[in-house]
């Protein structure tokens, strides 16, 4: 945090500060919870949950992370360009069109269905060498992954897997953020049953836990965990204080401050009525920046340590804050307010916006001036 803003910082309506040291600390904390020998991967899909894969992935690699997951083939290609030596898995699997391209870049597709498996084994046969791939078993999410009938087909004809160089068998938890939810234990049992039923699945490393799954205990860890949300500081479960370090600070800049001394309405739709004396600050961040319209008359920011409410409707490029409780010398044009910060993390803002922290982070806009705080010298993980 230099005292003098840079030229581009001074032109932006908001400043997004991403602490790569906190990110690395979170990865180490999660890794430390796993059994010795288990791998802690990192999920960097959706541009590393909106925080910038180009900065996040190399910082994690530098800290010792070697295994990464993305959602889409194009994300995998972008990551390969950043990290030539990393192990990269892509959740959405492979279509006929993408499989050769993935293999050419040494990227491992997660095969989610029997047709995807059949396409991969046909490809292996055609080129005369095995295709490295993961297999995703659906244990109760009912979204992607092999379903019961497909597992039965493989169990009765294991040769369906011929030509695959299986790297991981994985599944995905639906409710791990609610530690008491009965579905997690049911999913665990289903995953174990699938591995027990198909010898090829039992013979390769298994991956089950996302961020929340890591906190469900060692039964859920298997050989490789795939945290995403917790790396970025989001709370991994609903039942305890958030153990993760905060990675994101989002500040908006005050453009104008006005004293109101007659009753009037503020903003689009005249959605807020000022009845007495008030000071209203207009800040250069709006829903086009991901500061969601559902925060209209609900969101809060902090000017220093003072909580200030959003008044009126969130506009595309602007919000209005009631800064009546803030000393006049602090609420001035050019001053910054914390929209996400030490007093008010992404999960808290998400609660006000009636969504989840994940959607707040992935929705962060492109107009902020971004500052990456580098991680300190890497120590062996």
Give the integer Cα–Cα distance in Å for 121 and 128.
Answer: 10
3-state helix, strand, coil in the chain (%, to 5): 35, 25, 40
* Comparison of 155 and 257: residue with beta carbon closer to a copy of itself: 257
70-109: which residues touch a copy of itself (CB under 8 A)? Answer: 71-75, 91-93, 95, 97-98, 101
Does residue 45 carry a catalytic annotation? yes
Selected from 52, 109, 236, 290, the binder of a copy of itself by CB under 8 A is: 290
Q: In what order do the strands lie in the sheet with 42-43?
A: 39-40, 224-225, 206-207, 164-170, 131-136, 107-111, 87-90, 67-70, 42-43
Does residue 302 carry a catalytic annotation? no
Residue 143 interacts with a copy of itself (CB under 8 A): yes or no: yes
Give the integer Cα–Cα distance in Å for 287 and 310.
Answer: 13
Selected from 3, 366, 377, 380, the binder of a copy of itself by CB under 8 A is: 366
Selected from 104, 115, 158, 239, the binder of a copy of itself by CB under 8 A is: 115
309-348: which residues touch a copy of itself (CB under 8 A)? Answer: 312, 315-318, 320, 333-334
Instruction: State the residue for tokens 């370090």.
Output: 245
Selected from 82, 175, 204, 373, the binder of a copy of itself by CB under 8 A is: 175
Q: Is the dihedral of CA 104, 133, 114, 154 positive or negative?
A: positive
Question: CB under 8 A: which stretch of 7-15, 21-29, 196-204, 336-344 binds a copy of itself?
Answer: 7-15
Strands 42-43 and 272-274: unpaired
Specify burial of residue 6 (Cβ count, 10 A radius: 0-12, 13-18, 19+).
exposed
Residue 367 interacts with a copy of itself (CB under 8 A): yes or no: yes
Please pick, among 61, 192, 268, 372, the residue that the annotation labels catalytic: 268
CB atoms within 10 A of CB 92: 18
- Answer whether 78's CB lies under 8 Å from 102's CB: no
213-272: which residues touch a copy of itself (CB under 8 A)? Answer: 255-256, 258, 260, 264-270
41-70: which residues touch a copy of itself (CB under 8 A)? Answer: 45-47, 49-50
Nearest approach, Cβ of 120 to a copy of itself (angstroms)?
14
User: Could you tell me how many residues of this chain bind a copy of itself (CB under 8 A)?
Assistant: 75
Give the integer Cα–Cα distance in Å for 366 and 364.
Answer: 7
* Comparison of 141 and 204: residue with beta carbon closer to a copy of itself: 141
* Comparison of 108 and 375: residue with beta carbon closer to a copy of itself: 108
Selected from 354, 376, 378, 381, the binder of a copy of itself by CB under 8 A is: 354
Helix (H) or strand (E) holding 297: none
Nearest approach, Cβ of 164 to a copy of itself (angstroms)?
18
Nearest approach, Cβ of 65 to a copy of itself (angstroms)?
20
Helix (H, G, I), strand (E, B), or coil: what is residue 310?
strand
- Answer whether 228's CB lies under 8 Å from 70's CB: no
Please pick, among 45, 49, 253, 291, the residue that the annotation labels catalytic: 45
Between the two ends of the chain, the Cα-to-Cα distance in Å is 27
Instruction: State the residue for tokens 């829903």.
Output: 287
* Comparison of 189 and 264: residue with beta carbon closer to a copy of itself: 264
Q: Which residues are catalytic?
A: 45, 268
């Amino acid at each position: 945090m230099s005292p003098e803003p840079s030229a581009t910082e001074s032109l932006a309506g908001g400043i997004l500060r991403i602490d790569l040291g906190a990110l690395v600390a979170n990865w180490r904390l999660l890794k430390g919870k796993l059994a010795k020998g288990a791998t802690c991967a990192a999920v960097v899909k959706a541009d590393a949950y909106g925080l910038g894969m180009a900065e996040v992935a190399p910082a994690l690699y530098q800290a010792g992370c070697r295994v990464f997951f993305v959602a889409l083939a194009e994300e995998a290609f972008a990551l390969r360009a950043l990290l030539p030596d990393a192990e990269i898995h892509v959740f959405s699997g492979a279509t006929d069109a993408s499989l050769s391209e993935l293999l050419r870049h040494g990227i491992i597709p997660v095969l989610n269905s029997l047709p995807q498996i059949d396409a991969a084994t046909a490809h292996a046969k055609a080129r005369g060498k095995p295709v490295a791939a993961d297999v995703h078993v659906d244990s109760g999410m009912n979204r992607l992954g092999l379903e019961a009938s497909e597992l039965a087909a493989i169990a009765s004809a294991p040769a369906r897997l011929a030509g695959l160089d299986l790297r991981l068998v994985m599944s995905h938890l639906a409710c791990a953020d609610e530690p008491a939810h009965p579905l997690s234990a049911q999913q665990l049992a289903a995953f174990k049953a699938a591995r027990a039923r198909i010898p090829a699945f039992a013979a390769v490393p298994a991956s089950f836990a996302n961020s929340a799954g890591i906190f469900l205990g060692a039964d859920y860890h298997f050989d490789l965990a795939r945290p995403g949300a917790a790396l970025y500081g989001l709370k991994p479960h609903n039942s305890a204080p958030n153990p993760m370090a905060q990675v994101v600070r989002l500040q908006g800049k005050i453009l104008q401050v006005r004293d109101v001394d007659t009753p009037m309405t503020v903003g689009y739709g005249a959605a807020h009525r000022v009845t007495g004396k008030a000071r209203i600050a207009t800040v250069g961040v709006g829903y086009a920046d991901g500061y969601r319209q559902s925060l209209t008359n609900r969101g809060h920011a902090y000017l220093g340590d003072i909580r200030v409410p959003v008044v009126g409707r969130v506009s595309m490029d602007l919000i209005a804050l009631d800064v009546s409780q803030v000393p006049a010398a602090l609420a001035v044009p050019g001053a910054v307010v914390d929209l996400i910060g030490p007093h008010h993390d992404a999960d808290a803002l998400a609660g006000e916006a009636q969504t989840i922290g994940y959607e707040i982070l992935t929705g962060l806009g492109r107009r902020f001036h971004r500052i990456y705080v580098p991680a300190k010298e890497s120590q062996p993980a």
